[in-house]
Amino acid sequence: MEKSSNKKTAIVVGGSSGIGFETCSRLASRGYNVINISRTPCKIAKVGNITADVTDSAAFAAAIKKAAGKNGVQVLIYSAGFSMAAPIEYAKEEDYKYLFEVNFFGALRAIQLIIPHMKKKGGRVILIGSLGGDLPICFDSFYSSSKAALEMLCRAAYGELKPYGIKVTGVLPGGTSTGFTFKRKVYSDSETGGYSGNMNKAVAALANMEQSGMTPEAVAGIICNLLATDNPPVIKICGTKNTVYRVFSRIMPAKFTLNLNDRMYNQ
């Protein structure tokens, strides 16, 4: 992958749509050499593309190596994600394992692969998490679990990699209005047993919360501003409302916040 040596190189994993796409757009406009790694290309003229699936370890490793090239890489942003609506009782093993492969293990692989390219000169790593990792999303419990794990990975990596000048930040949006809402795998009524009524209400509430939430452009702006900050936080919540919500969830009794959360998805 050829690149201009006087530009910083940013690898965006999952930059073909949503938050990843808008991040690619902003980084390219700020003069970065942007390379997207995903199954489908990012249709921005200034963005390079390498086709790879994050669940294919060998292909993903080859993609990172090609993107870093001879001149290295200064920024890694992991924005790939998958969501599924299913009752815990009936969730299929292949589905929740795939979800964790995309949401957590893909991010872990990305960090492992990028460290050798950043260890000498430092760099920035940003992982896109979710407030859903703080409080569970009913019937999307595996997504919440994967994002909770991702936040802990951010915190651990922050401490381990800081001595090498590699700064790690987890960005936690709340509901964001993207096509991700409509790509969610939703189990059919025949696959959910007696849960279908409650699950469908929860899915509709989640979709409404996402589509009335922040724009992906706003989240991308926060990401780019973090890259311009010398001392970024380990965790960045997107938006004042979401920040207040997270603080509230931390200081109130767990049962109280869980009951509020339950009402949100089961009205």
Residues noted as catalytic: 143, 147
Does residue 106 contact residue 79 with C-beta atoms inside 8 Å? no
What is the crossing angle of helices 106-118 and 57-68, to 10°? 30
Q: Of the candidates 211, 210, 184, 187, which has an alpha carbon nearest to the alpha carbon of residue 198?
A: 187
**What is the rounded distance in angstroms from the CA atom of residue 53 to the CA atom of residue 14?**
9
**What is the rounded distance in angstroms from the CA atom of residue 100 to the CA atom of residue 83?**
10
DSSP 47: E
Does residue 150 contact residue 127 with C-beta atoms inside 8 Å? yes
**What is the rounded distance in angstroms from the CA atom of residue 68 to the CA atom of residue 72?**
5
- Spell out the alpha helix ranges (H) of the chain: 18-29, 57-68, 93-100, 106-118, 141-161, 180-183, 196-211, 216-227, 240-251, 254-265
Backbone φ, ψ for residue 51 (5° rounding): -85, 125
Q: Of the candidates 249, 152, 266, which has an alpha carbon nearest to the alpha carbon of residue 205?
A: 266
- Cα four-point dihedral sign 34, 38, 44, 45: positive
